[in-house]
Amino acid sequence: MPAGEVLAIIDALGNRQVAAWIAGGWAVDALVGEQTRPHRDLDLAIRAEQLDAAIDRLAGLGYRQALDRRPVRLVLEAAGGRAVDLHPVTFDEAGHGRQPGDDGRVFDYPPDAFGEGSIAGVTVRCLTAGQLVRFHLGYEPQAHDRQDMNLLRDRLGIALPDPY
């Protein structure tokens, strides 16, 4: 997933006023201000009530449903192996979000989970470093997970818990 495609997706969603925050590896790169590795897909935390609007808007960019695991996630794919992984988040009045996970797990998005970064010099909404660290706990990290967390530590001074 090249940076230009990420920006086209964010622009398409913004033009429809769909609230989305970049998550995953692209969020790490947005926070450090540069692309540090290739990314297979784009992960987006999205307001659950705007999921249908996001699907419609991304269809205009050639994305079609590839995996439907709602309410946990929805993966859309387009030609050339491009993929967007949508994570629907439901918010309460205080701005705290929750996303269902597999096996009854729930992912919390406190109000401080949402921030900004930049991709190819363009300011984008993304998850904060603290939120990304929280999401990297509870499983055995892969090499790209370690690389992402080390970037947050080395570039942003984020303290990392075990196993990082």
Is pTM beyond 0.85 here?
yes
- The closest alpha carbon to 151, from 126, 138, 133, belongs to 133
Task: Provide the residue-wise pLDDT of the chain in tens; the chain has 164 residues.
Answer: 999 999 999 999 997 789 999 999 999 999 999 999 999 999 999 999 999 999 999 999 999 999 999 999 999 999 998 999 999 999 999 999 999 999 889 999 999 999 999 999 999 999 999 999 999 998 889 999 999 999 999 999 999 998 88
| Residue 164 placed within a domain | no
Buried b (16+ CB within 10 A) or exposed e, 13-30: beeeebbbbbbbbbbbbb
What does residue 149 show for φ and ψ, rounded to 5 degrees?
A: -65, -40
| Residue 163 placed within a domain | no
Distance CA 138, CA 2 (A): 29
| Residue 32 placed within a domain | yes
Q: What is the pLDDT of residues 119-148, one digit of tens each?
A: 999 999 999 999 999 999 988 899 999 999
Q: Which range of residues forms the domain containing residue 84?
A: 3-156
| Residue 115 placed within a domain | yes
| Residue 124 placed within a domain | yes
CATH of the domain at 7: 3.30.460.40
- The closest alpha carbon to 6, from 146, 125, 97, 94, belongs to 125
Q: How many domains does the chain have?
A: 1
What does residue 18 show for φ and ψ, rounded to 5 degrees?
A: -95, 120
| Residue 162 placed within a domain | no
